Chains A and B, each alone.
Chain A
Amino acid sequence: MSGLSIENVSMRFDLPNGTSVQALKDVSLHLNEGELMSVLGPSGCGKTTLLNIIAGFLAPTEGEIVLNHHKVVGPNAERGMVFQQGALFEWMDVRDNVSFGPRMKRQKEAEWGEYVDHLLAVTGLAEFKDKAIYELSGGMQQRVALARCLANDPDVILMDEPLGALDALTREKMQGLVLKLWKETGKTIILITHSVEEAVLLGERLVVMAPRPGRIHKEYRLPFADMGVGADLREVKHANGYAETREEILEMIWDMEEEIMGRTEAQQ
């Protein structure tokens, strides 16, 4: 089965005081090539841990990640990552950041130059390609991060709240860009977010995770991502079923948060 498989992954952190935290328990998922899955959940449900395991930065205590029939054993260029902030290289200009991956593979500019310039154009960075990173706004910096990831042509793109630090307007524009790039490149994307609205809007599939231990609570298949490609995302928000789905998931997460709070209060 090609695609990305998360097979019975569990993660337990042993704390110095002798106790341990079950961050993930028995998580299994399969993503086909080209699927966009958004992951939601209250804080502490293990979303970021799961992403770090898929990226190869963490080894799970049980289970494994299989990408195109190969077991994942560490980070590599197959799985690109887009971070929330601060992962760009300030000492390089925009174009050098975007072309970092190909350059590290010692490819000649003839091999990547055209594609990198294309990505810069698609992300609206063409005229900023010689600018320093610190001269760009937060939204532009995230566009550089997206382009940098795509320039490396990974099989899977892992996004860890890539739009979390942006203002509402920029965020909306960037959501459109993510959808556009997803359709254009046909990449498999896992998007972690805190925003229910964003998850419902962008996720072809949507996974809600529950905490303590981190596990998959509920999975959805949603039509809004397809509707949103090339369309006005505001229109999509008025589409049939969007508001209901959003409210349902919001309530689900709200209940989980309540439960966590209750448990914490009971402990005190």
Chain B
Amino acid sequence: MIGFAILLVYIAIFAGSFLAVRFLVRKTTRDFTALKTVTFGDESAVSANRIASVVSVVTIFLIWGSFTGSAWVPGFLHAPGPFVGDTSFSYTSEAPDGRRDDATVFVRVVGFGEPTEKFEVDPGAGFAHDDAVSMPASRSSTILFDKNDEITRKDGAHIIAIDGKPIMPGGELRTDAGRFVLTEKGAISFSPPAGLQMEPIWLPPPERVVERVVEIASEGYRGSTLWQHLGYSLFRVIAGFFFGALLGIPLGYAMGLSDWFRGWFEPIVEFMRPVPPLALIPLVIIWFGIGETGKIILLFLASLWIMAISARAGVSGVNISKVHAAYSLGASKSQIMRHVIMPNSLPEIFTGARVAMGVCWGTVVAAELVAASEGAGMMIMVASKFQLTDIVLMGIILIGVIGFGIDILMRKAENFLVPWKGRS
């Protein structure tokens, strides 16, 4: 229900902002693309619309805020919240001898995270007495209406109507107060209107996540500060990738240059490549435990095959004319290796390194989810066990930001170190 509402709102904002931007913002660029008369089907004419990117990000936060009742989003944009406050309904009980009596149940619904409070009401006249119930918002509560009645269900009394509307055991009834279900045993299950907002336990509002970041950055979580958790994860990735590249690149070169090496390692590499690193976690834990060694070895294995394959592709991608030219210019084998094959394979190796860093980052988080005493993955795993959804969200966002940052850094390094990539 909530998911459907969110989807509708999202589609509406997508379409609405598209039309609004279409009509309000005139294209001011006078570049070559602006002069093209045919752009549909011309991929080069499509560049990301930055207004759309901004609106997209804002929309996500807006929906997040509005469906969690965030203080950052003005109240009129909030999705309808759950009913909070006092409400009441009446029920009609029928005794075995056919007498009927009405009584009222006063319900006090408290907001998310607030404690329920007991309160008293006057029991009123008749054999059915008025009840006082306190319950949390957005939940259903089974109300044992007859606990204080003179003729209880044990004595044979049963409910025949709620708010004057007839109801049978197993039946369901909706009134302005909310939804009623009469259980098979005759008790009332009452759900006040839940609204469309998410409970913080499912999705906390954005400000709660930010508060958590500040709190964990200064006070730490599970004995380590936020930076230590992230630092551990990063350190493992860098160490694992470093060793993977250190062994994988020479291995790839050897496979690209020698038939014996290729024949020897090809079955191993081709077999290990499709094995997801996550599938190795149990074995790595059995062999090396849950400490740093095991994690670094796991990441080493995750990056090794990728780096070996990319280095081999770099060697086989060398234009044979370059090698021939170098030979006829008098270069020796080692000079060809150093001055032709190695630089020529750099673009491929960088592509592999970017993939490997991405895989390593994903794998380290997964490995920490399974077992670790520090790290970004451990943080969100432990938090999830205590249903601290705000920490889980914070962890996911930081993991995403760092993964994105790693890729940007790798691309910058690539542009700096292999400027000829894709241009020869």
Q: Which chain A residues have a beta carbon within 8 Å of chain B's beta carbons?
A: 55-57, 75-77, 79-81, 83-91, 100-101, 104-105, 132-134, 145, 148-149, 152, 154, 158
Contacts and interface: CB of A to CB of B under 8 A. Distances in A.
Contacts of A76: 327-328, 330
Contacts of A79: 328
Contacts of A86: 319, 321-322, 424
Contacts of A90: 420, 423-424
A80 B329 contact: yes
Given A77-B329, A89-B340, 8 more contacts: A57-B327, A75-B324, A75-B327, A79-B328, A87-B325, A104-B329, A152-B329, A154-B328
A104 B335 CA distance: 7
A217 B396 CA distance: 74
B329 A87 contact: no
A48 B419 CA distance: 33
Interface in B399-424: 418-420, 423-424
Interface string B322-344: 10111111111001000110011
Contacts of B329: 77, 80, 100-101, 104, 148-149, 152
Contacts of B340: 89
B419 A83 contact: no
Contacts of B424: 86, 90, 133-134
B319 to A, nearest CB: 5
Contacts of B319: 86-87
Contacts, number: 80
Given A89-B339, A89-B340, A81 B420 contact: no
A87 B340 CA distance: 10
Contacts of B325: 81, 83, 87-88, 145, 148
Interface of B: 319, 321-322, 324-332, 335, 339-340, 343-344, 346, 418-420, 423-424
B340 to A, nearest CB: 7
A258 to B, nearest CB: 32
A133 B319 CA distance: 15
Cβ-closest 6 pairs across A and B: A77-B330, A90-B420, A87-B321, A75-B327, A91-B343, A134-B423
Nearest to B324: A57
Contacts of A75: 324, 327-328
B324 A55 contact: yes
A91 B420 contact: yes
A164 to B, nearest CB: 13
Given A86-B321, A87-B324, A89-B339, A104 B332 contact: yes
B339 to A, nearest CB: 7
A251 to B, nearest CB: 33
Contact of A101 (B324, B330, B344, B419): B330
A85 B424 CA distance: 10
Nearest to A154: B328
Given A83-B321, A86-B321, A87-B324, A105 B420 contact: no
A87 B330 contact: no
Contacts of A100: 326, 329, 331, 339
A152 B326 CA distance: 11
Contacts of A148: 325, 329
B371 to A, nearest CB: 44
A89 B339 CA distance: 9
24 contacts: A75-B328, A76-B328, A77-B329, A77-B330, A81-B328, A83-B321, A84-B321, A87-B319, A87-B324, A88-B322, A89-B339, A90-B423, A90-B424, A91-B343, A91-B344, A101-B329, A104-B329, A104-B339, A132-B419, A133-B420, A133-B424, A134-B419, A134-B423, A152-B329
Nearest to B336: A104
B381 to A, nearest CB: 45
B420 A104 contact: no
Contacts of B326: 100, 104
A81 B324 contact: yes
B331 A80 contact: no
Nearest to B346: A91
Contacts of B327: 56-57, 75-76
Identify the interface centre among B319, B328, B346, B420: most chain A CB within 10 Å of its CB: B328
Contact of A134 (B321, B330, B420): B420
Nearest to A105: B330
A105 B339 CA distance: 13
A77 to B, nearest CB: 3
Contacts of A105: 330
B333 to A, nearest CB: 11
A154 B330 CA distance: 10
Nearest to A75: B327
A67 B324 CA distance: 19
A201 B397 CA distance: 69
A128 B346 CA distance: 25
A132 B420 contact: yes
Contacts of B346: 91
A79 B330 CA distance: 9
Nearest to B325: A87
Contacts of A77: 328-330
Identify the interface centre among A55, A79, A104: most chain B CB within 10 Å of its CB: A104
A89 B343 contact: yes
A76 B339 CA distance: 17
A83 B324 contact: yes
A152 B419 contact: no
A76 B418 CA distance: 29
